[in-house]
Amino acid sequence: MERLAAQDREAGVEEKPLSDSQKSAIAEIRQRCSAGLAEREILHRDSLDKTFEPAARQQLEEEFQIDRRRLESDRDREIEKVRRGG
């Protein structure tokens, strides 16, 4: 961690402590993402319970993983925006 912090200082990256409003906004974003992931997982499991063909199950699993990565990417992007003050 120290090595990474040193690299950031050398690159001119300035680390500022988060304000209370930023912390609450980040917590809200994480909570919303967790709820979305939980909802998507419930729907995914329901779909799997109704599907017996292996190829169709594989397709459902791939779609679920894509949705999961998209939701996590959106969450990370929103958090970074809050951290930058935007």
Q: Pseudo-torsion of CA 53, 56, 57, 62, nearest 10°?
A: 160
Query: How many Å apart are CA 1 and CA 7, to the nearest integer?
Result: 10
pLDDT in tens, 21-60: 999 999 999 999 999 999 999 999 999 999 999 999 999 9
> Two tokens at 1?
């961690």
Contact, 74 vs 33, CB < 8 A? yes
Confirm whether pTM is higher than 0.85. Answer: no
Residue 18's φ and ψ, nearest 5 degrees, are -75, 145
pLDDT at 16 over 80: no
Owner of token pair 């930058």: 84
pLDDT value of residue 9: 74
